Amino acid sequence: MNTTKPILELDHVRIQYGERIVLDDLNVRVDSGEFIGVIGANGAGKTTLLRVILGLLPPASGSIRMLGAPLKKRDRNRAVGYVPQKIHLDPDTPLRGRDLVGFGLDGHRLGVPLPSRTRTKRIDAALAAVHALPFANAPVGRLSGGEQQRLLIAQALLTDPQLLLLDEPLSNLDIRSAHEVVDLVVRIGKERGIAVMIVAHDMNPLLGAMDKVLYLAQGRAAMGPVADVIKSDVLSRLYGYDVEVLRIRDRILVVGGSDAASDVVDFCEGCHCDGDEAMAR
């Protein structure tokens, strides 16, 4: 039995918009240093779950505790670092990489941040942690998707979080860049003892990294080691119809019946699916 103090606990949580239940009876425990993949089809509630953990959306019922204390609505918890989905900037936007990272320190304040040696040192340390110093002064809009993801991760690290949430960081990245981002997050998590929750459509780039998978489908969830969750019987119970799990070499494919195929996670390399929040509404 794990006796360490959990970073995050969700106990019988229900999440809903109006009359629509997004997730029901959700039980999650995240311990220090764990790497957890949050997997589900478009509209399964992945992004909505992150909003609840961030304190931006209250659960309809159940309890959430962060570091042993109840999570308050819209509580700006510095123990949590958040990496949003890919940013979209015009190539000519006069914003350098280090400027984007610096928003993690003072982006919530009005006015232009005053330069200081301490601020610069912290930003440089975060840039170094994600190997982004070589392009720290380049315009953000001209950087590749993988380089921009590194900057967003650096921004999230500035508050020295104990839990790092990443919302679809692999979307629109090529296979090589996706694996580089995963390797980067794994290294940072191990070096700093940070728990990581990473939302993804395609679990395959995460297979070698995940300690646990949190699989969302049809308002239900299953959490545990990949071998215990990604099985035909478990996923069939979640979806409510027959689902087959195929293992082809080092890849996993989840498929459903012909009438339900569109509801099953499309585990395709280079998936360009959108987030699920709008569908949840």
DSSP-assigned states of every residue in 169-187: TTTT--HHHHHHHHHHHHH
Indicate the pairing of strand 35-40 with strand 195-200. parallel
Backbone angles phi, psi at 196, to 5 degrees: -125, 130
Round to whole Å and give the CA distance between 223 and 36. Answer: 9
Which two three-digit tokens encode residue 245?
């799990």
Would you say residue 269 has pLDDT above 50?
Answer: no
Angle at 28 between CA 70 and CA 250, to 5 degrees: 145
Average pLDDT over residues 231-238: 94
pLDDT-based confidence at 230, cuts 50/70/90? very high
pLDDT-based confidence at 113, cuts 50/70/90? low
Stated pTM of the model: 0.85
Asked if 182 and 35 count as a contact pair (C-beta separation under 8 A), the reply is no
Round to whole Å and give the CA distance between 50 and 63. Answer: 15
Q: 21-35, 70-84, 86-100, 181-195: which has the minimum mean pLDDT? A: 70-84
- CB atoms under 10 Å from CB of 94, counted, come to 9
128-183 per-position pLDDT tens digit: 999 999 999 999 989 998 999 999 999 999 989 999 999 999 988 888 899 999 99
- State whether residue 58 is helix, strand or coil: coil
pLDDT-based confidence at 254, cuts 50/70/90? confident
Round to whole Å and give the CA distance between 242 and 235. Answer: 8
- CB atoms under 10 Å from CB of 141, counted, come to 15
Beta bridge partners of 245: 254
Round to whole Å and give the CA distance between 140 and 52. Answer: 29
Which pLDDT does position 261 carry in this prediction?
A: 39
Q: What is the largest CA-CA distance in the chain?
A: 61
Which two three-digit tokens encode residue 175?
């296979």
Q: In the predicted model, what is the mean pLDDT of the chain?
A: 85
Average pLDDT over residues 214-234: 95
pLDDT-based confidence at 43, cuts 50/70/90? confident
Domains and CATH numbers, the chain: 8-79+161-280 (3.40.50.300), 91-158 (no CATH)
